[in-house]
Amino acid sequence: MMRFKGAQAHRFAESPILQLRLPGWRSRLMAVLILASFGVLIGRAFYLQVLNDAFLQEKGESRYRRDLEISASRGRIADRHGDILAVSTPMKSVWAIPAEARLQPEQSRQLAELLEIEHKELTRKLSSDKSFVFLQRQIPPDVGERIAALKLPGIGQSKEYRRFYPTGEMTAHIVGFTGVDDKGLEGVELAFQGQLLGRPGSRSVIRDRRGQIVEDVGSIRPPQDGRDIRLSLDSKIQYLAFSQLRQAVAEHKAKAGGVVVLDAKTGEILALANWPTYNPNNRDNLTGAQLRNRALTDTFEPGSTLKPFTAALALEKGKFRFDSVIDCAPGRLTIGKATISDAHPHGALTVAQIIQKSSNVGAAKLAATLPAEEMWAMFDAVGFGQAPRLGFPGEVAGRLRPWKSWRPIEQATMSYGHGISVSLMQLVRAYTVFARDGDLIPLSLTRSETPLVQGMQVFSPQTAREVRAMLEMAVQPGGTAPKAQIPGYRVAGKTGTAHKLESGQYTNKYVSSFVGFAPASDPRLIVAVMIDEPGGGRHYGGDVAGPVFASVTASALRTLGIPPDAPLQVANGGNARERL
The one-digit pLDDT tens for each residue of the chain (580 residues) are: 445 454 455 565 566 655 556 676 777 788 888 888 888 888 877 776 777 666 666 666 555 566 666 677 899 999 999 999 999 988 888 988 888 888 888 888 889 889 888 888 888 888 888 878 888 888 888 888 888 888 888 888 878 888 999 999 999 999 999 987 788 999 999 999 989 988 877 666 555 555 555 455 555 777 788 999 999 999 999 999 999 999 999 999 999 999 999 999 999 999 999 999 999 998 888 888 899 999 999 999 999 999 999 999 999 999 999 999 999 999 999 998 999 999 889 999 999 999 999 999 999 999 999 999 999 999 999 999 999 988 888 899 999 999 999 999 999 999 999 999 999 999 999 999 999 999 999 999 999 877 667 789 999 999 999 999 999 999 999 999 999 999 999 999 999 999 998 887 888 899 999 999 999 999 999 999 999 999 988 999 999 999 999 999 999 999 999 999 888 654 455 555 555 5
Evaluate whether 232 touches 174 at the Cβ level (below 8 Å).
no
Q: How far is CA 488 from CA 126, 562, 568, 570, in A?
A: 70, 11, 4, 8
- Kindly report each contact of residues 47-53 with a partner whose C-beta sits within 8 Å and lies 24 or more positions away, as own/partner: none
User: What pLDDT, on the 0 to 100 scale, is given for residue 19?
Assistant: 56
Rg of the Cα atoms in the chain: 39
Bridge partners, residue 229, by sequence: 77
Cα distance between residue 135 and residue 367, in whole Å: 67
Would you call 444 helix, strand, or coil by DSSP? strand
User: What pLDDT, on the 0 to 100 scale, is given for residue 17?
Assistant: 56
Query: So what's the architecture of 235-579 in CATH?
Result: 3-Layer(aba) Sandwich (3.40)
Q: How far is CA 502 from CA 94, 293, 301, 421, in A?
A: 51, 20, 12, 13
Cα distance between residue 367 and residue 375, in whole Å: 8
Would you call 17 helix, strand, or coil by DSSP? coil
| Domain 65-100+161-231 identical in fold to domain 235-579 | no
Would you call 59 helix, strand, or coil by DSSP? helix
User: What pLDDT, on the 0 to 100 scale, is given for residue 95?
Assistant: 86
Sign of CA dihedral 417, 423, 427, 428: positive
Cis peptide before 90 (omega within 30 of 0): no
- Kindly report each contact of residues 379-385 with a partner whose C-beta sits within 8 Å and lies 24 or more positions away, as own/partner: 379/309, 379/414, 379/420, 381/440, 381/456, 381/458, 382/309, 382/429, 382/430, 382/433, 382/440, 382/458, 383/426, 383/429, 383/430, 383/440, 384/420, 384/422, 384/426, 384/430
Write out the H or E segment, with its range, that includes residue 90: strand 84-96
Would you call 386 helix, strand, or coil by DSSP? coil
Would you call 340 helix, strand, or coil by DSSP? strand
Q: How far is CA 227 from CA 73, 78, 173, 484, in A?
A: 9, 11, 21, 41
Cα distance between residue 386 and residue 532, in whole Å: 22
User: What pLDDT, on the 0 to 100 scale, is given for residue 68?
Assistant: 62
Q: How many CA atoms lie within 13 A of 495 on its CB side?
A: 31
Please state, as a whole number, how many other Cβ atoms lie within 10 Å of the Cβ of residue 213. 14
Cα distance between residue 453 and residue 96, in whole Å: 56
Cα distance between residue 405 and residue 161, in whole Å: 54
Domains in the chain: boundaries: 65-100+161-231, 235-579
User: What pLDDT, on the 0 to 100 scale, is given for residue 287?
Assistant: 84
- CA-closest candidate to residue 382, choices 316, 298, 441: 441
Cα distance between residue 255 and residue 500, in whole Å: 13
Cα distance between residue 571 and residue 488, in whole Å: 5
Fold of 65-100+161-231: Penicillin-binding protein 2a (Domain 2) (3.90.1310)
Sign of CA dihedral 144, 149, 152, 153: positive
* Span between the terminal Cα atoms of the chain, in Å: 154
Evaluate whether 515 touches 580 at the Cβ level (below 8 Å).
no
- CA-closest candidate to residue 516, choices 491, 551, 533, 498: 491
Q: Quick check: is 423 catalytic?
A: no
Cα distance between residue 520 and residue 566, in whole Å: 10
Cα distance between residue 134 and residue 160, in whole Å: 12
User: What pLDDT, on the 0 to 100 scale, is given for residue 128?
Assistant: 84
Would you call 422 helix, strand, or coil by DSSP? strand
Evaluate whether 210 touches 150 at the Cβ level (below 8 Å).
no
Helix segments in 192-336, DSSP class H: 193-196, 235-251, 288-291, 294-297, 307-316
Active site residue: 93, 304, 444, 512, which one?
Answer: 304
Instruction: Give every CB contact of residue 398 below 8 A, 6+ residues apart in sequence.
Output: 299, 384, 385, 386, 420, 421, 422, 423, 426
Instruction: Give every CB contact of residue 49 below 8 A, 6+ residues apart in sequence.
Output: 56
Cα distance between residue 528 and residue 517, in whole Å: 9
Write out the H or E segment, with its range, that includes residue 355: helix 351-357
Helix segments in 119-234, DSSP class H: 119-126, 141-149, 172-175, 187-191, 193-196
Pairing of strands 338-341, 65-70: unpaired
Pairing of strands 77-78, 229-230: parallel
SS (H, E, C) 460-474: CHHHHHHHHHHHHHH
| DSSP state at residue 299 | -
